[in-house]
Amino acid sequence: MKSGLDHVIAADTVLSHVDGDKGELIIRGFYLAQLATHTVETVAETLWQGLAPAGSGALITQLGQARVLAFEQVQPILTLAAGRPIMTGLAMGLATLQATPKLPDHVLASGAMAVLLAGLCRQNQGLEPLPPDPTLSQVQDVLRMRDGTLPPAYLVQALTTYLITVSEHGMNASTFAARVIASTQSDLFSALLGALGALKGPLHGGAPGPVLDMLDAMGSVAQIPLWIEHELSQGHRLMGFGHRIYRVRDPRADVLKQAVQSLHRHCPQARIALAEAVEAEALNQLARHKPERRLDTNVEFYTALLLEALGFERSAFTAVFALGRVMGWCAHYYEQQQHGRLMRPQSVYVGPQPVGL
């Protein structure tokens, strides 16, 4: 068996199917493009239906209550987390969440992620965190809590598209981590903390910041070929390219590219043109560099441009990803608890044998 568990099936799931050869993603019976036109609340309901305990009232209202309750709980943490990386602050906030009989845990955790993300972004700009407005949708409120004003519809639409696009994606590393923790019958917040730790790594959800660093380092279209050639000759990986499952273009890349183009007011044409030129040259050189391994554009490449255009600082990118993926993590947590057993694989001992007594 390969050390990365390639091709190992770890669970049956009703949540999503990733077809790496066709470049298709099905989420609970819908193609990604069909879901991407809905609201975050509808997609969360679709993922959680029949798995997670239902609270009372519409989900949009429950999430509003969750943000209010979470803000009360995590306010001291926001102060304590000032000056630390946003992912650290998010983990500190999640670790201190306390279950309440007023709301199911997954709703409280999802509301808390919105409050923490917005509050931590504000603090990084030297501003006080703002309390939530429970009458707004989750996406409207996270942008309002970050900026202090009601967001325009096109920003709400672009962030909604992003969060839905990354909401669920099979047995990726962070979801697997969440399911291992769920399989021990630990609590949901602990499973989310484990998932967050896995997401942070640059081979998973930590790639979009470095994608922008890469664009900055190239600077202009003329520099692209030499820069990429140099990176590959040093054995470095190009961020935003390659995927364990997809052997073709990641279908999420196209959905996000369209969303970036819809934000042209915030993403200058020159930035998009530079990214397109980098993508084309990277694909060319990767095909020559690894002819036996198809390496194509993954979700993180256009994520980087989109989150930049949405006004998030680089250090917040992985936390925004987590705000979307928390929907999938929660669904997997409950699915594992209902249908799974303790995950306890074995290892092959290759160490020294004891000699004598």
- Interaction site with ligand ACO (CB under 6 A): 4, 172, 203-205, 207, 237-244, 290, 293, 295, 298-300
Cβ-closest position to ligand ACO? 242
Smallest gap from residue 302 Cβ to ligand ACO (A): 12
Shortest separation between residue 299's beta carbon and ligand ACO, angstroms: 5
The nearer residue to ligand ACO, 41 or 168, going by C-beta atoms, is: 168
| Helices 208-218, 299-309: crossing angle, 10 deg rounding | 80
User: Alpha carbon 73 to chain centroid distance?
Assistant: 24
We find the least distance from the C-beta atom of residue 281 to ligand ACO, in angstroms, to be 13
Residue 25 pairs in a beta bridge with: 18
Cβ proximity to ligand ACO: between 237 and 249 the closer is 237
The question of whether 279 is a catalytic residue gets the answer no
**Least Cβ distance, residue 223 to ligand ACO (angstroms):** 18
Q: Are 187 and 105 in contact (CB under 8 A)?
A: yes
Select which of 41, 300, 308, 335 is catalytic.
300
Nearer Cβ to ligand ACO (139/256): 256
Q: Which residues pair with 24 in a beta bridge?
A: 19
* Neighbour-count burial for 190-222, b at 16+ CB within 10 Å, e otherwise: bbbbbbbebbbeeebbbbbbbbbebbeebeeee
Task: Calculate the CA 131 to chain-centre distance.
Answer: 24
Comparison of 15 and 66: residue with beta carbon closer to ligand ACO: 15
> Judged by CB, which is closer to ligand ACO: 128, or 276?
276
DSSP structure string for 246-293: -SS--HHHHHHHHHHHHTTTTS-HHHHHHHHHHHHHHHHHHHHH-TTS
The SS3 assignment for 309 reads helix
Instruction: In angstroms, give the least distance from the CB of 295 to ligand ACO.
Output: 5
Identify the bridge partners of residue 100 per DSSP, sorted by sequence position: 103
What lies within 8 Å, CB to CB, of 35 at 6+ separation is: 27, 43, 46, 164
* Cα gap 353→88, rounded to integer Å: 41
Q: Is 168 a catalytic residue?
A: no
Smallest distance, Å, CB 239 to ligand ACO? 5
Cβ atoms of 198 and 180 within 8 Å: the answer is no
Instruction: Compare residues 104 and 194 and give the one whose CB is closer to ligand ACO.
Output: 194
Q: Which of 18, 20, 16 is nearest to 51 (CA)?
A: 16
Instruction: Tell me how long the chain is.
Output: 357
Residues tagged active-site: 243, 300
